Chain A
Amino acid sequence: MASKYSAFQLFKEGLKGHTGWEPAWQDKSPSPSYDALVIGGGGHGLATAYYLARNHGLKRVGLLEKGWIGGGNTGRNTTVIRSNYFYPESVALYDFALKLYEGLSRELNYNIMFSQRGIAVVAHSELEMEMAARITNAMQINGTDAELLNREQVLERVPLLNQNDDARFPIFGGIWQGRAGVARHDAVAWGYARAADKLGVDIIQNCEVTGFLIENGRCAGVKTTRGEIRAGTTGMAVAGNSSVLSAMAGFELPVRSFALQAMVTEPVKPCLDTVLLYMGTGTYLSQSDKGELVIGGGLDRIPSYGQRGNPPLQEEILSGLLEMFPAFGQLKLLRQWAGIVDVVPDSSPVIGPTPLPGLYINGGWGTGGFKAIPAGGWLLAHLMANEEHHEISRPFDMDRFARGRLIDEAAGAAIAH
C-alpha cells in the first residue's frame, strides 16, 4: 500500500535515485459482488468511490472504468474551477465544490496544484456591464466572492488585451472571482484514486459495463466485459455516455451529447496570470505551468459521439483569441482535441435516483463539471449510501423537468463553462 507523500519522503527517495516509489493505486480484478458499485473512472466516479468509503464507511466498493481512469473528460478539460453562477442552487453546489477543492491536496495527501489565480469575465458594452453587475450582485447575495471590474481594472490584470479603439469587442469592464483558478486535472483523478485505494476501494480498469442486472424491477448489479458483478447499490458517472448507459437500463435522459474542444499553443514566457473569458467571443484561456496557453470555447454545433472537434468551431475559437490578443497571432498550436460532453437543456447537472430503483446518476455536467468533481462525488456517495438526497443535490433531481423547476444557468450566467 502506498505510503504517505511528504517532503521528507521525496528527499529520502531522491537519495535512492527514485527507484523506491510504489504504484499510487492497485489495478484490481473485479470481485463477484460489492456493497456499492460506481460506473465511470472519471473525477466524479473516483470521488464518489472515495467518499463512499471515507464518509459512509463502506468497505466493499468497486469502481468500473472501460478504459483507463481519467481518460475521459477529466483528462481532456481546460481545468477552470470557479463558482460564479447565478442561481442560489447552483452557487450552493459549485461553491461547495470550490471549498472542497481548497482543502483537497491536504485531504488526499496528493498535490492537485490548485492555483487560485482568479477569473475575469470581460464585458463589451453598457448592456453587458449591467448583466455583469446583475451576476456580481447575485453571487454576493449567494455568499460567494465576486467583484465588478471597470476597464482599467481589467487591463491592470491583463495588460496584453486588445486595447485598440476599433476593437470589435471593446473592454468595458467585467466580473472578477478571486477564488477561482485552475488545477492539474490528472492529479485530481489520480489523487482520488490513490486515496480511495488506500481505503480499500477496488479500482478496475478495462472493464466496460454492457448492461444491467435487473431483478424484481431493481438494479442488482451490472454486466461487463469481464463478467457479471452484483451490487447493493449502483451509481453511474459516465459524462457523454450517460444516454448509452440509460438506454441499457431502459430509460431516457434529458441529455444530448456534443464534442467540446480545446487546444494548446507552444509554451511561452509567463504572460497571463489569471483565467480570462470574453463574453463577446466565448473564447477563454489560461496559461499552464509549462507556459502553454490552454484555449477553449463553445460547444460544437453538431450532436456527436466522435471524440474530435469540428474545424468550424476551432476557427471560431481561434478568431476569438486573436481578437482578444492580437499578439498571439504568432504562436503555433501544439495540440487540439475534444471530449464528449452531456448537455442538459438548462445547463445544470442531473443528480439523483433514476427510473430504475437502486441505480443513481451523476451526469449532465456538460461543459463544466471538472470544477464540481469533489461535490459531485460527495453527493452521489450520499445518495447511494442513504438512498435519499443531500439538500444540495435535491434541486438537481431529474424530476425538475416534469415540475418545471429548471435551473437555467446558460441564460443566467452567460458563460460557457
Chain B
Amino acid sequence: MSAAAHTSAIEPIIREKLSEKPILLMAHLVLGYPSIEENKKVIAQMVDAGVDLIELQIPFSEPIADGPVIAQANQAAIDAGFRVDAGLEAIAEITLTHDIPFLIMTYVNILHARGMGQFISDAAKAGVKGLIVPDLPLQEAGEAIAWSREAGLDWIQLMTPTSHDDRLAAIGAEADGFVYCVARRGVTGKNTSFDDSVGAFVTRCRAATKAPLAVGFGVKNAEDVAYLQGKAEIAVVGTAAIAAHREGGAEAVGRFFRGLRPAD
C-alpha cells in the first residue's frame, strides 16, 4: 500500500468549510429506513440545518459494529425490501441534489457480493466521495484501499481507544480524507461522556495522522459538540438523529441539528 498517489476528494472541502465554522457536523442515516422517500426528506432537512457531510449506511443483515437502534433500522430496511441497486440509484439522485460530500457506510459483504471493484466504481459513479467499512480492518483492506484511490474515493480509516500507538500510526499513514475516531468502546448508540479520556484519545489520534479527525459514537447534544470543538474537525451524529426522527419526523431532525450548534 502507498499513500503517495492519492489526492483526497474530501479533505479540501473540509478545510474550506473549517475557514467558516469552528467544527463540522457529519450525520449518519440508514438508507431505506423507514423508506428511501423519507430518507430524502431527512437529508433535505439535514442540509438545510447546516450539516456538512452525510454518511449513508447501506443496510446489512449482520451489522456487528452497530448498536440496537441502528441494527434494528438495518433489519427494518431489509424487511421493507431494500435492495442495493435501488439504494445506489437513490444515492446518485441525492448526491446530485445536494452540494455537500456524501459517503457510503456499510459492511464488507455488501461490497464483496457485488464484487469489490465493481461496488467501488459504482459508488464513485453514484457521486459519493468516500467509503466507511468498519469490518474491513487495515490488514484486510489493501485491495479495497487501492481500488478506492483509483476510483477517486477516500477510504475512511477508523481509530479506536483500544488501538495502540503503533497501530494508530499504521492506520494514520493510510488515512485518506479524514479519520473516524470512535470515542469509546462498544457499539453505536450508547451514551459517551465527553471528558478528558476522549480528549486524550483524540490527542493520540492527532499525533498519528495529518488527516482531519471526525469523532463519533454517542454525540447527542450541543454540549458534546462544544466539547469536541477545538479538538476535532468533525462531530459525527447517528443514533440521536434516528431518535429525533422517531419522535417528530423529518422536521424534528432539522431542529435537532440546528440545536447542535449553540453558537450559530
A binds B: no
